[in-house]
Structure 1
Amino acid sequence: MKGAKSKSESKNSRLGVKKREAPAVKKAPAKKTKEAKDPNKPKRPASAFFVFMEDFRKQYKEKHPNNKSVSVVGKAGGDKWKSLSEAEKAPYVAKAEKRKSEYEKTLQAYNKKLAEGKDAEEEEEESDKSKSEVHDDEDDSAEDEAEDDDDDDDE
């Protein structure tokens, strides 16, 4: 067997090719979990464009009653908004600013109420803890007395 390779030679030839190790992948830092949104928080006001779109949608539906595509209405509204002059946009900008000022007032009231609520919750938790400690002692003694009474009934 002159031309035949031994098993050890074939293994060595395969091992001769070194495989490259995959570069160490750095893991991204864990993403912070988002806090749950408060449903009572006031919603942000609409911009001037969206105030315009409220009126534009009504007009567009009257002119094109068969159109059911939202994207077509949005594109037509965007084109119309771009073609308006500053004077034509002014009423929508004014409405948007009015809504924004109202939003800021309600947001301040909401934040104030939220801050007061947190302070009240912290005080309430402290008082609950002190109450539970006192009540636990009373409950234990009441349970002991009840067990003693039960033992007397059995005899």
Structure 2
Amino acid sequence: MKGGKSTKKADTKLTVKKSAPKAKGAKDPNKPKRPASAFFVFMEEFRKQFKEENPGNKSVAAVGKAGGAAWKAMSESDKAPYVAKAEKRKKEYEKTMAAYNKKVADGPNEEEDSDKSKSEVNDEDDEEGSDEDEDDD
């Protein structure tokens, strides 16, 4: 068709592209969280101090901007305690990650997969079976 609009081009522009499923798999809720950097260790204290000095200010952005400015103004010697705390947390994280990775590599145990004991699982199976018998009546 000369001069007419092609519906193929219009269709491809209107279609929503679906993202492919993640190859990594679902996130494990038992995986340890990464430790905070020195700046975020500083911000933990700074937030408390800022809220005491500015009780009327509820803006998260204002706290972040003030904290960032304070961090930039600090000397390396002033930052040292926060860097030390961050390093300590990082070492603890590495230990817990090593234990976690070892646990994952060994494979999950059947007992750890479920919070229910085997008797509770069997009880549920029995209850489901009894419901089926009642439906037949």
**TM-score normalised by structure 2 residue count:** 0.65
Number of residue equivalences: 105
Distance in 2 of aligned mates of 1:77 and 1:84 = 11
1:83 positional shift: 0.9
Query: AA paired with 1:94?
Result: A
Distance in 2 of aligned mates of 1:41 and 1:74 = 28
1:74 positional shift: 0.8
2:80 to 48, 69, 90: 90
Per-residue CA deviation, residues 42-68 of structure 1 (Å, 9 max, x unaligned), is 110000000000010111111111211
The alignment yields a C-alpha RMSD, in angstroms, of: 2.7
1:43 to 33, 37, 44: 33
Bigger Rg, which one? 1
Per-residue CA deviation, residues 1-58 of structure 1 (Å, 9 max, x unaligned), is xxxxxxxxxxxxxx7x433645696xx8962325221111111000000000001011
Q: Which runs of 5+ in 2 are unaligned?
A: 111-137
Q: Which runs of 5+ in 1 are unaligned?
A: 1-14, 122-155
Distance in 2 of aligned mates of 1:84 and 1:93 = 12
Name the residue aligned to 1:31: 20
Give runs of aligned pairs for residues 59-138 of structure 1, distance below 5 A. 59-118=49-108
Distance in 2 of aligned mates of 1:30 and 1:93 = 39
Change (3 A) 1:62 1:31: same
Verify: 1:18 aligned to 2:3, yes or no: yes
**TM-score normalised by structure 1 residue count:** 0.58
Distance in 1 of aligned mates of 2:33 and 2:46 = 22
Query: AA paired with 1:40?
Result: N
> Equivalent residue of 1:45, what SS?
coil
